[in-house]
Structure 1
Amino acid sequence: MDVTVIGISAVAVEIYRYFLRHRDEGVGSARRALGVDADTVEAAVEELERLSLLDLTDRHRVVATEPRIGIERLIERRLNELNSEIRRVLAARDAIAVFMEDRQQGERSSTALDIERVEGLERVRQRIDDLGFFSYKETLCLHPGGPLSRTAIETALPLDTRSLRRGLSVKAVYNPRAIEDPLMLAYLRDLRSLGGEVRITEESIDRMIVFDRSVAVVPIHPQESARGALLVREPGLVSQLVAYFDGVWEAATDIREYTEPSKEPPLLSDLERRVLAVMATADKDEIAAREIEVSVRTYRRYVADLMARLGAVNRFQAALRAKEENWI
């Protein structure tokens, strides 16, 4: 039984029931019988009087209102309150037309493209960090210049690691001058070992970063990147920039092939080829081992050996690299 919905507290319920059972009793008798302190009883009987459930004309002979009258009256009052609230809520729909008119007026008056200008190298780096943090799908980068500074590399690697561990795809294209620096080359190899994709192009490219194919960051001035950047969100412009990136990416060469030209594929046994084939498709080692008809221990030993030879950090990456190296 829950009558709090009609405004009666739990303590008041017990006192009301007491006076229904004990007609013509006084307030003091309720306090003694129920073991409730005087202040609590006083507050409850005042509440019941306010709700017209008790008549306190004579506090020594309290009269409880007949439930079918008192409770029904409270229910009716509460229903009226709820109906009034419902009408008020439904009336809020009238605001939709007003808000829509405001929106349409804004669309009619807005002629500027969705391009944000960010000046200063430090502010640009902060905005790029923010965009990378909130990305959920991929990052596309074009780097036309030479190597990054040691400080820039030390800042970039943790950010790249964070993105890759969150499952983002990272694709970057660099100019050959960038990998003339041993520190930069080591950074790019680390990036690749973490799951990033790095390619090299000798063609002239423009500096650019694209996040989730929805926001592009380009320099304010192509030859002076330190001046600042433009954050482009216009779908048509971003689409063109992504198409430009895709063209550069397809024509570029994987960094591993560029720095270590591909040799003839290694001689693999039939079993090694079968292990490579199931590594990226089987969910569990037991299933893969059963599929190629070897023990689980043997399968795991072959997997560990192949991953080491491919320089892969996980099985899926090993399978991808095996395809890139024409092992399978």
Structure 2
Amino acid sequence: MDVSVIGISSEAADLYRYFLRHRGDGVGDAKQALGLDPDMVEAAVEELERLSLLDLRDRHKVMATEPRIGIERLVESRLNELNAEIRRVLAARDAISVFAEDQQQGERAANALDIERVEGLEQVRQRLDDLCFFSYKETLCLHPGGPLSRGAIETALPLDTRSLRRGLAVKAVYHPRSLEDPLMAAYLRDLVSLGGEVHITEEPIDRMVIFDRSVAVVPIHPKESSRGALLVREPGLVSQLVTYFDGVWGASKDIREFTEPSKEPPLLSELERRVLSVMATAGKDEIAAREIDVSVRTYRRYVADLMARLGAVNRFQAALRAKEENWI
């Protein structure tokens, strides 16, 4: 029995039941009979009097209110409170129109492009951490110039590790100068061993990071990345940056091929060979994925990676180049 919902504590409920069973007993009788702490009994008596469940005009002869009257009155009072609360909650819907007007004003005053300016290196790192945490598909990076600083490496490796363990694809392109630093070279080896993909290019590239092909982060000033960054969410601009990345990626070399060039065809997994074999023949991704027994998402990821490695602009061309290069 839980009567706390109508404002009666468990101690007060026990005392109320006592006086219902012992009509005419006094407060002192209750203290002695129940063996409770006197202060606790006094507090419960005051609570019951406040709730109109006890008549204490004579403390030596306490009269308990009939439950059908006293409890019903408390229930009705509580229901009235709840109904009033419900009406106040429903009235909050009136605020929708007010907030909607604020939203419309904000949209009218907003810039034409969805670009956020973040200043300061620490603030940029925090935003990168947030974007990385909430990504669910892939991270694409371009790193021009030489090696990263020790601090940057110590910041980047945990983020990359977390992403790869969550199943995200991590693709990064670096300049050969990055490999001149032993700490940087070790970081890149660790990244590859965890499942990341690292390419090397000697061509000039612009610094940027793209999350899930929907948010791009570029420096405010291309030569002074410490000044801050621009977070670009405008679909048209992000699409152009993704196209730029894909072009750089396709023209660059895998770090293993760059550091240990080989004339032999690249080692392909059995699944990669099966993907190549159906790319030029299957009409739809769903059919191809079903044929090699993988999800459509997995199939598309493998296709995109193989096309980039082959420098192909479409799947048919990728299949042809794979045959020309003796990949299959």
Asked if Structure 1 and Structure 2 have the same fold, meaning a TM-score greater than 0.5 normalized by the shorter chain, the answer is yes
Cα distance change on mapping 1:216 and 1:53 into 2, 3 Å:
same
Aligned to 1:113, the other structure's residue is in SS state coil
Which residue does the alignment assign to 1:7?
7
Alignment of structure 1 residues 138-149 onto 2, 5 Å: 138-148=138-148
Which residue does the alignment assign to 2:30?
30
- Offset of residue 29 of structure 1: 0.8
Cα distance change on mapping 1:75 and 1:256 into 2, 3 Å:
same
What do the CA deviations read for 1:259-278 (whole angstroms, capped 9, x no partner)? 32334469xxxxxx9xx749
Which residue does the alignment assign to 1:288?
none
Paired with 1:222 and 1:326, the residues of 2 have a C-alpha distance of: 41
Query: RMSD over aligned Cα, in angstroms?
Result: 3.6
Paired with 1:33 and 1:147, the residues of 2 have a C-alpha distance of: 83
What do the CA deviations read for 1:112-157 (whole angstroms, capped 9, x no partner)? 5333445566765565456445544422122333445667556655
Asked if 1:50 corresponds to 2:50, the answer is yes
Q: Indicate the structure (1 or 2) with the bigger Cα radius of gyration.
A: 1
- Offset of residue 109 of structure 1: 1.3
Paired with 1:45 and 1:119, the residues of 2 have a C-alpha distance of: 64
- Offset of residue 33 of structure 1: 0.7
Alignment of structure 1 residues 1-328 onto 2, 5 Å: 1-111=1-111, 113-118=113-118, 128=128, 131-132=131-132, 135-148=135-148, 156-157=156-157, 159-179=159-179, 184-223=184-223, 225=225, 228-264=228-264, 277=270
Paired with 2:125 and 2:23, the residues of 1 have a C-alpha distance of: 80
- Offset of residue 187 of structure 1: 4.2
- Gap regions ≥5 residues in structure 1: 267-272, 282-319
Paired with 1:141 and 1:87, the residues of 2 have a C-alpha distance of: 53
Paired with 1:232 and 1:169, the residues of 2 have a C-alpha distance of: 20
- Offset of residue 71 of structure 1: 1.3
- Offset of residue 211 of structure 1: 2.7
Q: Give, as a single letter, the amino acid of the residue that structure 2 aligns with 1:52.
A: S
Task: With the length of structure 2 as denominator, give the TM-score of the two structures.
Answer: 0.71
- Offset of residue 229 of structure 1: 3.6
Q: Give, as a single letter, the amino acid of the residue that structure 2 aligns with 1:220.
A: I
Paired with 1:190 and 1:40, the residues of 2 have a C-alpha distance of: 66
Query: Which deviates more, 143-152 or 91-100?
Result: 143-152
- Offset of residue 66 of structure 1: 1.4
Aligned to 2:58, the other structure's residue is in SS state coil
- Offset of residue 176 of structure 1: 4.1
Aligned to 1:48, the other structure's residue is in SS state helix
- Gap regions ≥5 residues in structure 2: 275-305, 307-321
Identical amino acids, percent of aligned pairs = 81
Cα distance change on mapping 1:66 and 1:232 into 2, 3 Å:
same
Aligned to 1:236, the other structure's residue is in SS state helix
Q: Give, as a single letter, the amino acid of the residue that structure 1 aligns with 2:64.
A: A
Q: Give, as a single letter, the amino acid of the residue that structure 2 aligns with 1:46.
A: E
Q: Alignment length, in residue pairs?
A: 280
Cα distance change on mapping 1:124 and 1:88 into 2, 3 Å:
closer
Aligned to 2:28, the other structure's residue is in SS state helix
